[in-house]
Structure 1
Amino acid sequence: MSTVDVIRAHYAASDSGDLAGMLAPLGPKTTWTEAAGFPYAGTYTGPDEVRAHVFEAIGRDWDGYTFTLADLLDAGDTVVGVGTYTGTHRRTGRSFTARVAHLWRFDGGELTSFEQIVDSAPVVAAAREQS
Protein backbone atom coordinates (compact mmCIF):
# COMPACT_ATOMS: atom_id res chain seq x y z
CA MET A 1 0.00 0.00 0.00
CA SER A 2 1.39 3.43 -0.91
CA THR A 3 1.88 6.12 1.73
CA VAL A 4 -1.05 8.13 0.40
CA ASP A 5 -3.25 5.01 0.48
CA VAL A 6 -2.32 4.46 4.15
CA ILE A 7 -3.43 8.00 5.02
CA ARG A 8 -6.52 7.78 2.82
CA ALA A 9 -7.49 4.68 4.85
CA HIS A 10 -6.90 6.62 8.10
CA TYR A 11 -9.28 9.38 6.97
CA ALA A 12 -11.87 6.82 5.79
CA ALA A 13 -11.71 5.23 9.25
CA SER A 14 -12.15 8.67 10.80
CA ASP A 15 -15.23 9.30 8.65
CA SER A 16 -16.80 6.04 9.88
CA GLY A 17 -15.84 6.49 13.55
CA ASP A 18 -13.41 3.54 13.46
CA LEU A 19 -10.78 4.45 16.08
CA ALA A 20 -8.83 1.20 15.60
CA GLY A 21 -8.62 1.93 11.88
CA MET A 22 -7.49 5.48 12.56
CA LEU A 23 -4.70 4.24 14.83
CA ALA A 24 -3.69 1.34 12.54
CA PRO A 25 -0.88 3.22 10.72
CA LEU A 26 0.86 4.17 14.00
CA GLY A 27 3.73 2.07 15.26
CA PRO A 28 5.07 2.08 18.82
CA LYS A 29 7.65 4.78 17.94
CA THR A 30 5.42 6.97 15.75
CA THR A 31 5.28 10.52 17.14
CA TRP A 32 2.07 12.52 16.95
CA THR A 33 2.31 16.27 17.51
CA GLU A 34 -0.73 18.41 18.24
CA ALA A 35 0.04 22.10 17.61
CA ALA A 36 1.07 24.50 20.34
CA GLY A 37 -1.97 26.49 21.44
CA PHE A 38 -4.36 23.64 20.57
CA PRO A 39 -6.28 22.20 23.55
CA TYR A 40 -4.43 18.85 23.24
CA ALA A 41 -1.01 20.32 22.43
CA GLY A 42 1.97 18.07 22.84
CA THR A 43 3.85 15.21 21.27
CA TYR A 44 2.64 11.70 21.96
CA THR A 45 4.37 8.44 21.02
CA GLY A 46 2.60 5.32 19.83
CA PRO A 47 -1.07 4.50 19.39
CA ASP A 48 -1.90 4.18 23.10
CA GLU A 49 -0.73 7.71 23.95
CA VAL A 50 -2.47 9.14 20.88
CA ARG A 51 -5.70 7.36 21.76
CA ALA A 52 -5.65 8.62 25.36
CA HIS A 53 -4.35 12.18 24.89
CA VAL A 54 -5.99 13.06 21.57
CA PHE A 55 -8.95 10.95 20.47
CA GLU A 56 -10.42 10.05 23.87
CA ALA A 57 -9.95 13.66 25.03
CA ILE A 58 -11.71 15.00 21.93
CA GLY A 59 -14.55 12.51 22.41
CA ARG A 60 -14.91 13.57 26.03
CA ASP A 61 -14.94 17.32 25.31
CA TRP A 62 -16.73 17.72 21.96
CA ASP A 63 -19.93 16.73 20.20
CA GLY A 64 -19.78 16.19 16.46
CA TYR A 65 -16.03 16.83 16.26
CA THR A 66 -15.07 16.08 12.66
CA PHE A 67 -12.27 16.56 10.18
CA THR A 68 -13.43 17.17 6.62
CA LEU A 69 -10.68 16.44 4.11
CA ALA A 70 -10.44 18.92 1.22
CA ASP A 71 -7.09 17.91 -0.32
CA LEU A 72 -4.77 14.94 0.03
CA LEU A 73 -1.32 15.65 -1.38
CA ASP A 74 1.12 12.85 -2.20
CA ALA A 75 4.76 13.92 -1.86
CA GLY A 76 6.21 10.41 -1.57
CA ASP A 77 7.52 10.00 1.98
CA THR A 78 5.38 12.95 3.09
CA VAL A 79 1.61 13.09 2.73
CA VAL A 80 -0.35 16.26 3.46
CA GLY A 81 -4.02 16.33 4.37
CA VAL A 82 -5.69 19.74 4.26
CA GLY A 83 -9.17 20.35 5.55
CA THR A 84 -11.43 21.70 8.25
CA TYR A 85 -12.23 20.77 11.83
CA THR A 86 -15.71 21.44 13.22
CA GLY A 87 -17.36 20.62 16.51
CA THR A 88 -19.43 21.81 19.45
CA HIS A 89 -17.94 21.97 22.92
CA ARG A 90 -19.95 19.89 25.40
CA ARG A 91 -19.53 22.26 28.37
CA THR A 92 -19.92 25.65 26.63
CA GLY A 93 -22.29 24.65 23.81
CA ARG A 94 -20.26 26.79 21.39
CA SER A 95 -19.27 25.56 17.93
CA PHE A 96 -16.20 26.27 15.83
CA THR A 97 -14.73 25.83 12.36
CA ALA A 98 -10.94 25.81 11.92
CA ARG A 99 -8.66 25.19 8.95
CA VAL A 100 -5.99 22.54 9.44
CA ALA A 101 -3.15 20.75 7.70
CA HIS A 102 -1.77 17.36 8.69
CA LEU A 103 1.80 16.39 7.79
CA TRP A 104 2.36 12.64 7.71
CA ARG A 105 5.98 11.49 7.34
CA PHE A 106 7.14 8.01 6.38
CA ASP A 107 10.50 6.25 6.31
CA GLY A 108 10.83 2.94 4.49
CA GLY A 109 7.06 2.67 4.22
CA GLU A 110 6.54 3.07 7.99
CA LEU A 111 4.75 6.09 9.46
CA THR A 112 7.29 7.93 11.62
CA SER A 113 5.43 11.11 12.50
CA PHE A 114 2.26 13.16 12.32
CA GLU A 115 2.22 16.94 12.77
CA GLN A 116 -0.87 19.11 13.05
CA ILE A 117 -0.83 22.72 11.85
CA VAL A 118 -4.08 24.42 12.83
CA ASP A 119 -5.76 27.74 13.44
CA SER A 120 -6.35 26.90 17.09
CA ALA A 121 -7.94 30.25 18.06
CA PRO A 122 -11.52 29.26 17.08
CA VAL A 123 -11.16 25.93 18.90
CA VAL A 124 -9.91 27.56 22.08
CA ALA A 125 -12.61 30.24 21.91
CA ALA A 126 -15.35 27.61 21.62
CA ALA A 127 -14.01 25.82 24.70
CA ARG A 128 -13.53 28.94 26.82
CA GLU A 129 -16.09 29.83 29.46
CA GLN A 130 -17.51 33.29 28.90
CA SER A 131 -17.01 35.75 31.71
Structure 2
Amino acid sequence: MTSTPTDIVRDFYDKLSGGDAPGALGLMDPHIEWITMWHYKVEGRGPGPVAEGLFKPLMAEWTSFSLVPTEFITEGETVVSLGDFRGVHGTTGKISEARYAHVWTVKDGKITRFRQYIDTLAVAEARRP
Protein backbone atom coordinates (compact mmCIF):
# COMPACT_ATOMS: atom_id res chain seq x y z
CA MET A 1 0.00 0.00 0.00
CA THR A 2 1.36 3.41 -0.97
CA SER A 3 1.55 6.07 1.73
CA THR A 4 -0.08 9.41 0.99
CA PRO A 5 1.77 12.67 1.71
CA THR A 6 -0.44 13.11 4.79
CA ASP A 7 0.46 9.59 6.01
CA ILE A 8 4.16 10.43 5.73
CA VAL A 9 3.78 13.70 7.64
CA ARG A 10 1.74 11.96 10.35
CA ASP A 11 4.45 9.30 10.55
CA PHE A 12 7.07 12.04 11.03
CA TYR A 13 5.18 13.48 14.05
CA ASP A 14 4.59 9.97 15.45
CA LYS A 15 8.27 9.06 15.19
CA LEU A 16 9.35 12.35 16.75
CA SER A 17 6.90 12.03 19.65
CA GLY A 18 8.09 8.45 20.22
CA GLY A 19 11.70 9.61 20.49
CA ASP A 20 12.68 8.05 17.15
CA ALA A 21 14.69 10.95 15.68
CA PRO A 22 16.59 8.61 13.29
CA GLY A 23 13.24 7.31 11.99
CA ALA A 24 11.96 10.87 11.49
CA LEU A 25 15.17 11.83 9.68
CA GLY A 26 14.76 8.72 7.51
CA LEU A 27 11.51 10.12 6.09
CA MET A 28 13.43 13.04 4.58
CA ASP A 29 14.77 13.36 1.07
CA PRO A 30 18.61 13.54 1.01
CA HIS A 31 18.31 17.13 -0.26
CA ILE A 32 15.47 18.35 1.99
CA GLU A 33 15.12 22.12 2.39
CA TRP A 34 14.23 23.02 6.01
CA ILE A 35 13.09 26.60 6.75
CA THR A 36 12.38 27.73 10.33
CA MET A 37 11.14 30.98 11.89
CA TRP A 38 12.91 30.81 15.21
CA HIS A 39 16.47 30.87 16.54
CA TYR A 40 17.40 27.40 15.27
CA LYS A 41 18.84 27.61 11.78
CA VAL A 42 19.38 24.70 9.41
CA GLU A 43 22.40 25.50 7.23
CA GLY A 44 22.42 23.58 3.96
CA ARG A 45 20.23 20.75 2.77
CA GLY A 46 19.68 17.21 3.96
CA PRO A 47 18.76 15.27 7.10
CA GLY A 48 22.25 15.81 8.62
CA PRO A 49 21.92 19.61 8.74
CA VAL A 50 18.37 19.22 10.16
CA ALA A 51 19.72 17.00 12.96
CA GLU A 52 22.62 19.38 13.71
CA GLY A 53 20.80 22.69 13.29
CA LEU A 54 17.43 21.80 14.80
CA PHE A 55 17.05 18.45 16.57
CA LYS A 56 20.22 18.58 18.71
CA PRO A 57 19.87 22.20 19.92
CA LEU A 58 16.11 21.78 20.44
CA MET A 59 16.64 18.73 22.65
CA ALA A 60 19.47 20.48 24.52
CA GLU A 61 17.46 23.64 25.24
CA TRP A 62 14.09 22.14 26.22
CA THR A 63 13.78 19.55 29.00
CA SER A 64 10.65 18.31 27.26
CA PHE A 65 8.65 19.33 24.23
CA SER A 66 5.89 18.04 22.02
CA LEU A 67 4.45 18.88 18.62
CA VAL A 68 0.79 17.97 18.49
CA PRO A 69 -0.85 18.35 15.10
CA THR A 70 -4.58 19.04 15.34
CA GLU A 71 -5.49 19.47 11.67
CA PHE A 72 -4.14 18.44 8.27
CA ILE A 73 -4.94 20.18 4.97
CA THR A 74 -3.63 18.45 1.85
CA GLU A 75 -3.42 19.56 -1.77
CA GLY A 76 -1.37 17.30 -4.02
CA GLU A 77 2.20 17.08 -2.71
CA THR A 78 1.62 19.83 -0.11
CA VAL A 79 0.46 19.10 3.43
CA VAL A 80 -0.27 21.86 5.95
CA SER A 81 -0.41 20.77 9.56
CA LEU A 82 -1.80 23.06 12.23
CA GLY A 83 -1.04 22.29 15.84
CA ASP A 84 0.56 23.09 19.15
CA PHE A 85 4.16 23.20 20.36
CA ARG A 86 4.46 22.73 24.10
CA GLY A 87 7.82 22.79 25.81
CA VAL A 88 9.47 23.24 29.18
CA HIS A 89 12.57 25.42 28.88
CA GLY A 90 15.64 23.84 30.47
CA THR A 91 17.11 27.04 31.90
CA THR A 92 14.05 29.08 32.93
CA GLY A 93 11.68 26.20 33.70
CA LYS A 94 8.94 28.19 31.96
CA ILE A 95 6.34 26.46 29.82
CA SER A 96 5.82 27.60 26.24
CA GLU A 97 2.58 26.92 24.44
CA ALA A 98 2.80 28.09 20.85
CA ARG A 99 0.47 27.50 17.91
CA TYR A 100 2.14 26.51 14.65
CA ALA A 101 1.52 25.93 10.97
CA HIS A 102 3.92 23.58 9.18
CA VAL A 103 3.95 23.40 5.39
CA TRP A 104 5.38 20.14 4.07
CA THR A 105 6.19 19.07 0.51
CA VAL A 106 6.28 15.30 -0.07
CA LYS A 107 7.50 13.83 -3.37
CA ASP A 108 7.98 10.15 -4.17
CA GLY A 109 7.39 9.14 -0.55
CA LYS A 110 9.99 11.50 0.96
CA ILE A 111 9.72 14.91 2.64
CA THR A 112 11.50 17.36 0.32
CA ARG A 113 10.67 20.70 1.94
CA PHE A 114 9.52 22.01 5.32
CA ARG A 115 8.43 25.55 6.19
CA GLN A 116 7.61 26.54 9.75
CA TYR A 117 5.33 29.30 10.99
CA ILE A 118 5.12 29.54 14.79
CA ASP A 119 4.16 31.96 17.54
CA THR A 120 7.74 33.10 18.14
CA LEU A 121 6.66 35.46 20.95
CA ALA A 122 5.34 32.53 23.00
CA VAL A 123 8.67 30.73 22.53
CA ALA A 124 10.69 33.88 23.36
CA GLU A 125 8.71 34.45 26.57
CA ALA A 126 9.67 30.99 27.85
CA ARG A 127 13.36 31.66 27.07
CA ARG A 128 13.37 35.02 28.92
CA PRO A 129 14.68 34.78 32.52
Q: Distance in 2 between matches of 1:60 and 1:75?
A: 35
Query: Residue 27 of structure 1 aligns to a residue in which SS?
Result: strand
- 1:103 corresponds to: 103
Structure 1: which amino acid aligns with 2:52?
A
Deviations 1:1-34 (A, max 9, x none): 2111111111111221110121122122111111
Q: How does 1:14-53 map to 2 (within 5 A)?
A: 14-35=16-37, 38-42=38-42, 44-53=44-53
Counterpart CA distance in 2 for 1:19 and 1:42 is 16
Question: Aligned AA for 2:59?
Answer: G
TM-score (norm 1): 0.89
Runs of 4+ in structure 1 over 6 Å off = none
Query: What's the counterpart of residue 114 of structure 2?
Result: 114
In structure 1, how many angstroms separate the alpha carbons of the residues matched to 2:49 and 2:13?
Answer: 19
Tell me what 1:125 maps to.
Answer: 125
Corresponding residue for residue 62 of structure 1: 62
SS at match of 1:52: helix
In structure 1, what is the equivalent of residue 8 of structure 2? 6
Structure 1 Cα separation of the partners of residues 96 and 31 of structure 2: 32
Structure 2 stretches lacking a partner, 5+ long? none
Determine the C-alpha separation between the residues in 2 that align with 1:51 and 1:108: 22
Structure 2 SS opposite 1:39? coil
Displacement of 1:76 in angstroms is 1.6
2:93 aligned with 1:93: yes
Aligned-CA RMSD value: 1.5
How many equivalent residue pairs? 127
SS at match of 1:10: helix
Contact 1:78 1:105 in 2 (8 A): yes
Letter in 1 for 2:19: G
In structure 1, runs of 5+ residues without a counterpart are: none
CA distance in 2, matches of 1:26, 1:56: 17
